[in-house]
Amino acid sequence: MIIQLNQVQKKSESLSKKEYKQELKKLQYHLLSLQLTLRKHGVALVLVFEGMDAAGKGGAIKRLTERMDPRGFIVHPIAAPQPHEKRYHYLHRFWRKLPMHGQIAIFDRSWYGRVLVERIEKFATKTEWKRAFEEINAFEQTLTEEEYIIIKFWMQISNEEQLKRFVERKNDPFKQWKLTEEDWRNREKWEDYIIAAEEMLEKTDEERSPWFVISGDDKKSARLQVIRHAINAIEAELSKRGLEFPPIHDKELTQIINE
């Protein structure tokens, strides 16, 4: 995938608040049906979320999981490795968080930190992060050749929208915890992150573990995009593996969203 992230166009959907909620509910129940299908067939799902700060990863994950069976998924918020984790290969802590067959794991940031923040902040040497592209591809290939589906999302936001959201968080007592001095410092390295992300997308976008770039300036549109891509990718993988999944009929969904 070759893409210029600074040129990702803002996407919006002309939906009223009521229409948005109905569409969201319809997609969420569709996803719930697929969650139950994955459990039935013993196929694990790994969803990876990366992106610029304040691009909407948390909001998208919240809507993605809102109607899922909570017994069947776990969200892993990934931060810097703990001291004891540094004694192992950097992928070790992610192997330990992989879901059982039939379960779902959602990574809010992931092993791609090696080629993003670790690259930019020089926590990894040039040799290490350059080698990581091949290591990550091999890691994901190992999983997808077994009972795993991997879907990856890059949440992109404009520089102007990010600043707006930072200011909103700073002034909201219930969101201030989301904003750190590191976030402000990272804004000064915007172009470095763009360059690193574009190379990451180009070198790790594989048919077996695809990247989907989501325009995050419009929060509602971004959330719908994420769930639609997830549904389509899961169904495509199930079909490829010859596994049956129940068709979702508009009539059934219409009845659900009107309840």
Whose tokens are 């990718």? That residue is 233
* Tokens 């904003």 -> residue: 179
pLDDT value of position 181? 85
- 198 Cβ contact list (under 8 Å, min separation 6): 2, 3, 4, 5
For residue 7, tell me if it sits in a domain: no
- Which contiguous run of DSSP H or E holds residue 117? helix 117-120
pLDDT tens digits, 151-203: 999 999 999 999 999 999 999 888 888 888 888 888 999 999 999 999 999 99
The answer to whether residues 244 and 33 touch, using CB atoms and an 8 Å cutoff, is no
Long-range contact set of residues 168-171: C-beta below 8 Å, sequence gap at least 24: 169/54
| The two three-digit tokens of residue 142, written as one number | 């190992």
Query: How many angstroms separate the CA atoms of 77 and 82, rounded?
Result: 13
| Per-residue pLDDT reduced to its tens digit, 202-211 | 999 999 999 9
Q: How confident is the model at residue 257 (pLDDT cuts 50, 70, 90)?
A: low
Question: Would 12 be classed as within a structural domain?
Answer: no
Residues 49 and 8: their CA atoms lie apart, in Å, by: 17
What domain range includes position 103? 17-258
Tell me what the mean pLDDT of segment 74-101 comes to. 97
**Rounded distance, CA 32 to CA 65, Å?**
9
Angle at 201 between CA 200 and CA 206, to 5 degrees: 110
* 45-55 pLDDT per residue, tens: 999 999 999 99
Max alpha carbon distance in the chain (Å)? Answer: 56
CATH number at residue 23: 3.40.50.300
In a domain, 222, yes or no: yes
Structure-model confidence comparison of residues 65 and 247, the more confident one: 65
Quote the CA–CA distance of 181 and 36 in Å, as a whole number. Answer: 41
In a domain, 169, yes or no: yes
Quote the pTM value: 0.93
Of all residues in the chain, the percent with pLDDT exceeding 70 is 95
Instruction: Output the average pLDDT for the chain.
Output: 93
Q: In 3D, which of 47, 203, 46, 50 has the Cα closest to residue 138?
A: 203
Total domains present in the chain: 1
| Assigned token pair, 100 | 């059982």
Question: Does residue 3 sit within a domain?
Answer: no
44's enclosing H/E stretch is strand 44-51
pLDDT category of residue 14 using cuts at 50, 70 and 90: confident
Q: How far apart are CA 244 and CA 136, in angstroms?
A: 30
Axis-axis angle for helices 250-257, 17-41 (nearest 10): 120
Kindly report the CA angle at 137 between 133 and 142, in degrees rounded to 5? Answer: 150
- Percentage of the chain exceeding pLDDT 90: 81
For position 108, what pLDDT does the model report?
Answer: 98
